[in-house]
Amino acid sequence: MKGHRVTIKDIARKLNISPSTVSYALNNHPNINPNTKKAIKELAQELNYKPNKVALSLLQNESKIIGLLIPEIIHHFFSTVISGIEQIANKSGYHVMICQSNESYEREVENVQALLSSNIDGFIISMSKNTHKFDHFRNIEKIGVPIVFFDRPCEGVFADKVIVDDFEGAFQATKHLIESGCKHIIHLAGPQHLAIGEKRKDGYVEAHKHFNISIPEHYIQACDTYDQAYKLIPELIKEHPEVDGVFAVNDLTAMGSIKALRKLKKKIPGDVAVCGFTNSFISRMSYFELSSVDQKGFEMGQVAANLLLDRMKSRESYQPVTKVLKTKLLVRDSSKK
């Protein structure tokens, strides 16, 4: 059943002209005689010729494709960012191809290579949390393909960045929990080598300082997935039964905590108040709503795409910028006291 992909050569052979004439004609080059052009285009249509962008991009050196590298599609946050990116990119005739790293460094490196090999015009990247070496990003830089990082930028790579004010968001969330009456708030933290992990923890610490509350050891735990939280919370509550608040680095971790707390028959927010970070769709869609810090995913995607389009248009030298979006605390069922 394998058909033959009609090529420029097939058309050239049938018309007894050179393949480059066919190529020029199909790309509307002014040097080609209008009648020849017409004949070529008609035959191309008749033979169901699809311009092979592989060949085309060698000619034009652009693919009209933006490569998007994200850690995990399961985080609704990323689907919101993708919507923002696509809205802007599609308007300018660009397509978005998405690859996920599944938080694997190796997969991320392979995805970079696969996308580069597809001759994409630019990258929008949120780094895997297990990425500690950055040569694959530096290679993109050397090749001259522009990158915009979002949410989890890579420091030390020449690229634009779009982030939120993680410190302020975490500060406000923790302050809200304290003001709601929580005296013993644990923080389920992200990796500290990522700015989002470090700054959200810093905001949590700063809010405690603000109220002169000391933070016991073990109140800050490395824990940033649904499954990890679901497993860790029962152990933590057993050791620290006084805990009455949870501030989680992202919504899925907060949801895992809620699930575990419910199993322990803890009332939420009566016994333990919970606040996440992201304001993903899941935080507001379910029967029982999660308080969260709005991370402006859609806007982040739009800003990232606009930055990238600018960089792709003008390949002049530039000074990379970092755009910092404001967050907003949204108080819902899980922390309304």
Q: Which of 170, 252, 308, 331 binds its own copies (CB under 8 A)?
A: 252
- Minimum Å gap between C-beta 213 and its own copies is 28
* Cβ-based nearer residue to its own copies, 5 or 183: 5
Torsion on CA atoms 156, 159, 160, 164, rounded to nearest 10: -40
Binding status of residue 24 toward its own copies by CB under 8 A = no
Distance set, CA 210 to CA 138, 166, 205, 215 (Å): 40, 17, 9, 12
Binding status of residue 326 toward its own copies by CB under 8 A = no
* Cβ-based nearer residue to its own copies, 36 or 92: 92
The tokens of 9 are what? 């050569």
Binding status of residue 287 toward its own copies by CB under 8 A = yes
No. of H helices and E strands in the chain?
A: 13, 12
Q: Which of 62, 141, 165, 206 binds its own copies (CB under 8 A)?
A: 141
- Helices (DSSP H) in 217-329: which residue ranges? 226-239, 251-263, 281-285, 297-313
Q: Could you tell me if 15 and 40 are in contact, meaning their C-beta atoms sit under 8 angstroms apart?
A: yes
Q: Which of 100, 250, 253, 335 binds its own copies (CB under 8 A)?
A: 100
Sign of the dihedral defined by the CA atoms of residues 256, 259, 265, 269, in that order: positive
Binding status of residue 262 toward its own copies by CB under 8 A = yes
The tokens of 332 are what? 């819902």
Q: Which of 192, 318, 322, 337 binds its own copies (CB under 8 A)?
A: 318
* Cβ-based nearer residue to its own copies, 149 or 171: 149
Residues 170-199, interacting with its own copies (CB under 8 A) = none
Residues 195-234, interacting with its own copies (CB under 8 A) = 226
Binding status of residue 45 toward its own copies by CB under 8 A = no
- Minimum Å gap between C-beta 184 and its own copies is 21
- Minimum Å gap between C-beta 203 and its own copies is 25
Q: What is the spatial distance between Cα 227 and Cα 99, in angstroms, rounded to a whole number? A: 23
